[in-house]
Amino acid sequence: MEDWKRQASLAIIGGGIMGVCLAFHLARRGARDVILLEKDLLAQASTGLCAGGVRQQFSHPSNIKLSQETVRLFERFADEFGQEINFRQVGYLFLAQREETWEEFLSSVEIQRKLNVPVEVLSPEEIKERWPYLEVNDIRGGTFCAEDGYADPYLVAMAFAQRARELGVKIFEKTKVVGIRIERGKVKGIETSRGAIEVSKVVDVAGPWAGEVARMAGLELPVLPFRRQVFVTAAFDSIPHPVPMIIDMDIYFYFRGDPPGLLMGMSDRSEPSSFNTNVDWNFLEKVIEKAIHRAPLLEKARILRGWGGLYEITPDENPIIGAIPEVEGFFCAIGFSGHGFQHGPSVGRVLSELILEGKTDFDLSPFAYDRFQKKREGGEKKAV
């Protein structure tokens, strides 16, 4: 256990991928006296329970650029961090059933190609030829990027945390933040389950709990937690590996390889916001129904286990990143709507620049917290 600190220059609230990446980048840029506070254990909540997807097929240029930086890092991760993270570039295959969805795909491809994403546009016949186990009679087409894939979220987070510690960051697990002290519109300190800490800057990277942390500072930020459920099959060789991440956009169903079996999940868009992470085995029936429709061979698969996790979702399914002017010294990187793992490494770098230098070369305007009041359009269209 690290020695307790009563004073720090900056406190990071949240020990998921966003928190540990930010801690690393701050320390690497020379920040001193940085602490990270996690109410449970590092990477045990949303990060550790996510599917680990990494893709460049977004509709918004800023999201594409964030993912591109992460892909390049993951390709050389073992060399830089000395840790294998099981990065598997098996590709992402998006499928469109509705004409409207297909048109959005084509529009997104134009943006992706301008940013040099090696994306392919495929007809149903081409999809069937490559992945013969898929049912394609009801789809308009799909897009595929072979560079996309998945990695182990826990291993990635632990590598960043270890390097942050080596650079001097103090990490306190099992330490819950219960209050943020504000005086004359400025951050002055935080209250925790272990005692008070004097600090002039705090960063809210609390994932699904980000809204609760913001309210401690008197802020109402539009981010809410929603349950998502994932299921894994027993060993299954009827579908040959590697299996790409296959996303049926119009029904929010996805599956990918998870050797020796498969991993699958689906979002229930009608479920209200909550912190519920229990598995709903009745919902599994709906998942299986969609799975068998898209890949009939999955009827033979046996579900081995399942778990629930949480997405942190904003109204336009884009994050809120940066300083919150109403409270001097309060920063956040929240509301990633299922994309936090893949964007954590790049957002950590960008946000560290903003905090330490007051500016960054990366355009954060699409992620400004006040965009909702301005009714700005142009959010992310692919938010599985």
Q: Along the chain (384 residues), what's the average pLDDT of each consecutive run of 10 residues?
A: 83 98 98 96 88 95 97 97 97 98 97 98 98 98 98 97 97 97 97 96 97 97 94 96 96 94 89 93 93 96 94 94 97 95 97 97 94 65 51
| Strand partners of residue 111 | none
Q: What pLDDT score was predicted for residue 1?
A: 44
10-49+154-222+316-371 matches 89-149+224-313 in fold: no
Topology of domain 10-49+154-222+316-371 in CATH is FAD/NAD(P)-binding domain (3.50.50)
Instruction: Give residues with Cβ within 8 angstroms of 255, minimum separation 6.
Output: 243, 245, 246, 262, 263, 264, 265, 291, 294, 295, 298
Q: What pLDDT score was predicted for residue 5?
A: 83
Q: What pLDDT score was predicted for residue 380?
A: 59
Q: What pLDDT score was predicted for residue 316?
A: 92
Q: What angle do CA 214, 339, 166 make, to 5 degrees?
A: 75
Q: How far apart are CA 352 and CA 346, in angstroms?
A: 10
- 266 vs 51, 81, 244, 291, CA distance in Å? 12, 33, 16, 9
Q: How far apart are CA 18 and CA 318, in angstroms?
A: 15
Q: How far apart are CA 198 and CA 196, in angstroms?
A: 7
Q: How far apart are CA 218 and CA 341, in angstroms?
A: 27
Element (DSSP H or E) covering residue 256: strand 253-258
- 278 vs 229, 281, 357, 384, CA distance in Å? 9, 9, 42, 20
| Strand partners of residue 204 | 13, 332
Q: How far apart are CA 253 and CA 251, in angstroms?
A: 5
Residue ranges per structural domain of the chain: 10-49+154-222+316-371, 89-149+224-313
Of the candidates 77, 232, 234, which has an alpha carbon nearest to the alpha carbon of residue 155? 77
Q: Is the dihedral of CA 359, 360, 363, 366 positive or negative?
A: negative
| Residue that has been written with the tokens 């109403």 in this structure | 326
Q: How far apart are CA 202 and CA 370, in angstroms?
A: 19
Q: How far apart are CA 56 and CA 29, in angstroms?
A: 27
Q: What pLDDT score was predicted for residue 161?
A: 98
CA 359 to chain centre: 24
- The DSSP letter of residue 169 is -
Q: What pLDDT score was predicted for residue 264?
A: 96
Q: How far apart are CA 203 and CA 270, in angstroms?
A: 31
Residue range 89-149+224-313 in CATH 3.20.20.70: no
**Region label for 203, one of left (φ > 0), alpha (ψ between -120 and 50) or beta (otherwise):** beta
